[in-house]
């Protein structure tokens, strides 16, 4: 089922929701409960929900008495290894209150490149959803062979949406929509809809934000939205605060229309090639 407007989100069969580190850690830690209750409502309505959540490194840092994001890979990986368990514990506790079982799914970019790995990941997630489990995906940071980049999970979310043939991808950030220029700039206007063939030429996007815990900002969100849209999956970009409204189909955020072709193995491969291009360019 291909959604044509955000108001159809409540009727989606399957959605992927992505949340970034800064929305659920530090002084926004309380937002995790709000996110979980919105996901639980969608789940209770019968929608199959997959969450892609960052936050392993940001959760691990204070437990290791580190205050900034480390600049070496091994320390980032160590922080992720410490934080991932704690992050899942927070999700498990919150989902328990709704009687929802969750599952940790850790994937690397390589898993998407190898057909066998990709198929197994897809089958396992399909099975979890059949079993009414709410899977939570993160990058398997501890074995990532590249530097863990800001915004990696924006790409991961688009790949997961393609992998599980989601009806929509909901990207949550700290900003409520895409703006025609950086939102803090005077006169910035939200863009409500983006047609599939719109190259957003007039839109001025701030460079990737480095805020200490890891968020990709508008650049990686746009790349992710384009990747999903090319594979036939529409995308709603909005703020973590508005997740409840977004999943109820309210008129919030920016809606990226998808290409008309349904996602299939061919477009998945296309999406994977696109992701490679982003990886090499960045």
Q: Select from 31, 47, 54, 239 the one that contacts ligand GLU (CB under 6 A).
A: 54
| Distance in Å, CB of 206 to ligand GLU, minimum | 16
The answer to whether residue 107 forms part of the interface with ligand GLU (CB under 6 A) is no
Does residue 138 interact with ligand GLU by CB under 6 A? Answer: yes
Can you read off the two tokens belonging to residue 85?
Answer: 């368990």
> CA–CA separation, 181 vs 175, rounded Å?
12
DSSP 51-87: EEE--HHHHHHHHTT--S--SSHHHHHHHHHHHHHHH
- In degrees, to the nearest 5, what angle opens at C-alpha 186 toward C-alphas 190 and 191? 10
Distance of closest approach, residue 214 Cβ to ligand GLU, in angstroms? 3
Q: Is 92 exposed, middle or buried (0-12, 13-18, 19+ CB in 10 A)?
A: middle
C-beta of 224 vs 238, nearer to ligand GLU: 224
**Which 196-215 residues touch ligand GLU, going by CB under 6 A?**
214
Does residue 217 belong to the site contacting ligand GLU (CB under 6 A)? no
Q: Of 31-39, 115-123, 134-142, 238-246, which part binds ligand GLU (CB under 6 A)?
A: 134-142
Residue 36 CB contacts under 8 Å (≥ 6 apart), including other chains: 91, 94, 95, 98
Check binding of 111 to ligand GLU (CB under 6 A): no
Q: Single out the segment in contact with ligand GLU by CB under 6 A; choices: 133-141, 186-194, 230-238, 251-259.
A: 133-141
Q: How far is the CB of 18 from ligand GLU (least distance, A)?
A: 9
φ, ψ of residue 62 to 5 degrees: the values are -65, -30
Contacting residue, 15, 24, 36, 80, with ligand GLU by CB under 6 A: 80
C-alpha radius of gyration, the chain, whole number: 17
Phi and psi at residue 28, in whole multiples of 5°?
A: -110, 15
Distance CA 210, CA 173 (A): 14
Q: Which is nearer to ligand GLU, 39 or 87 (CB)?
A: 87
State which of residues 151, 217, 232, 253 lies at the interface with ligand GLU (CB under 6 A). 151
Judged by the rule CB under 6 A, the positions of this chain that interact with ligand GLU are: 21, 54-58, 80, 138-139, 141, 148, 150-153, 214, 216
């Amino acid at each position: 089922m291909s959604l044509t407007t955000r108001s159809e989100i409540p009727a989606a069969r399957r959605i992927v929701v992505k949340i970034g580190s800064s929305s659920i850690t530090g002084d926004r830690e309380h937002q995790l409960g709000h996110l979980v209750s919105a996901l639980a409502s969608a789940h209770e309505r019968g929608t199959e929900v997959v969450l892609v959540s960052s936050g392993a490194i940001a959760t691990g840092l204070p437990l290791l008495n580190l205050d900034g994001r480390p600049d070496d890979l091994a320390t980032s990986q160590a922080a992720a290894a410490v934080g991932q368990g704690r992050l899942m514990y927070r999700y498990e506790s919150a989902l328990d209150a709704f009687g929802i079982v969750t599952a940790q799914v850790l994937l690397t970019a390589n898993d998407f490149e190898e057909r066998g790995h990709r198929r197994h990941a897809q089958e396992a997630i399909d099975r979890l959803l059949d079993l009414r489990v709410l899977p939570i995906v993160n990058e398997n940071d501890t074995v990532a062979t590249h530097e863990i980049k800001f915004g990696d999970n924006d790409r991961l979310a688009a790949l997961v949406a393609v992998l599980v043939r989601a009806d929509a991808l909901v990207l949550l950030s700290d900003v409520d929509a895409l703006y025609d220029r950086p939102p803090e700039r005077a006169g910035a206007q939200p863009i409500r809809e983006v047609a599939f063939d719109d190259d957003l030429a007039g839109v001025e996007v701030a460079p990737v934000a480095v805020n200490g815990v890891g968020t990709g900002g508008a650049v990686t969100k746009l790349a992710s939205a384009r990747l999903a849209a090319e594979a036939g999956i529409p995308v709603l970009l909005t703020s973590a605060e508005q997740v409840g409204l977004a999943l109820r189909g309210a008129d919030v955020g920016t809606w990226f229309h998808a290409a008309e072709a349904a996602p299939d193995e061919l477009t998945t491969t296309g999406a994977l090639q696109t992701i490679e291009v982003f990886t090499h360019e960045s």
